[in-house]
Each structure stands twice: as structure tokens, then as C-alpha cells.
């Protein structure tokens, strides 16, 4: 997966198409990511004693990595990513302007 935790992404398919958010967690084996405020689901929680009351909670659910695209905050557009070797290190770069990412 070329997308990493902390990247800003844009949703390109699904019910939240067009939304942007930060990657909170990645699941490389399942090819899924959790994006902040995207793919919200309702969970009914049973009370677990006096410290944890029950109720209806909203939380983010995983979304397939093919449905998100790296979002460049400088240009305000989504772009594809690639890898290349520079000085013996593998780095990610934006294919739109060939600029390295961090």
C-alpha cells in the first residue's frame, strides 16, 4: 500500500465520494484503511458496568484502499503515488509533479 497513516486522502468511490480526511489506521493484510469522519457506522453498545454506559455510538469503519487517493493539500487535487530509489533509499513521490513526499 502506498498510503500511510497520517496521509490526507480523498475518497474517489462509494457513499462518501468527494470527502477528504486523514488516515487514522491502516490494515495492509486486508488492503483497508480507516479515514477520519468517512464511512461512519452506528454501533449499539451494551452497558459494561457503571464506568461504561451503553448507548448508540458512531465510529469510522474501514474502507478499501482502492477507494481512496492521496490528496495534495498544496494544489488541492488528488494524485497518484509512486516509489523510486534516491541515495539508496526508497521514497514516495507524487506522479503529478514528480515531487518527493516527506
Query: What cell was used for 2?
Result: 502506498
**pLDDT tens readout for residues 37-50:** 999 999 999 999 99
> What does the pLDDT average to over 27-34?
98
Write down the pLDDT at residue 62: 98
All structural domains of the chain with their residue ranges: 8-75
Alpha carbons 80 and 2: distance in angstroms, whole number? 9
Query: What cell was used for 17?
Result: 465520494
Q: Which fold has domain 8-75?
A: SH3 type barrels. (2.30.30)
Alpha carbons 71 and 94: distance in angstroms, whole number? 10
**pLDDT tens readout for residues 73-84:** 999 999 999 999
Write down the pLDDT at residue 24: 98
In this structure, are residues 7 and 70 in contact, taking their beta carbons and an 8 Å threshold? yes
Residues contacting residue 8 through CB under 8 Å, at least 6 positions apart: 20, 21, 22, 23, 70, 71, 73
Write down the pLDDT at residue 102: 79
Amino acid at each position: 500500500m502506498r498510503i500511510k497513516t497520517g496521509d490526507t486522502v480523498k475518497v474517489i468511490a462509494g457513499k462518501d465520494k468527494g470527502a477528504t480526511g486523514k488516515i487514522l489506521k491502516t490494515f495492509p493484510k486486508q488492503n483497508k484503511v480507516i479515514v477520519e469522519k468517512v464511512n461512519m457506522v452506528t454501533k449499539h453498545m451494551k452497558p459494561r458496568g457503571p464506568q461504561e454506559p451503553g448507548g448508540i455510538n458512531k465510529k469510522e469503519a474501514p474502507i478499501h484502499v482502492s477507494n481512496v487517493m492521496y490528496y495534495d493539500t498544496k494544489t488541492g487535487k488528488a494524485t497518484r503515488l509512486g516509489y523510486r530509489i534516491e541515495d539508496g533509499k526508497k521514497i514516495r513521490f507524487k506522479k503529478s509533479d514528480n515531487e518527493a513526499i516527506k
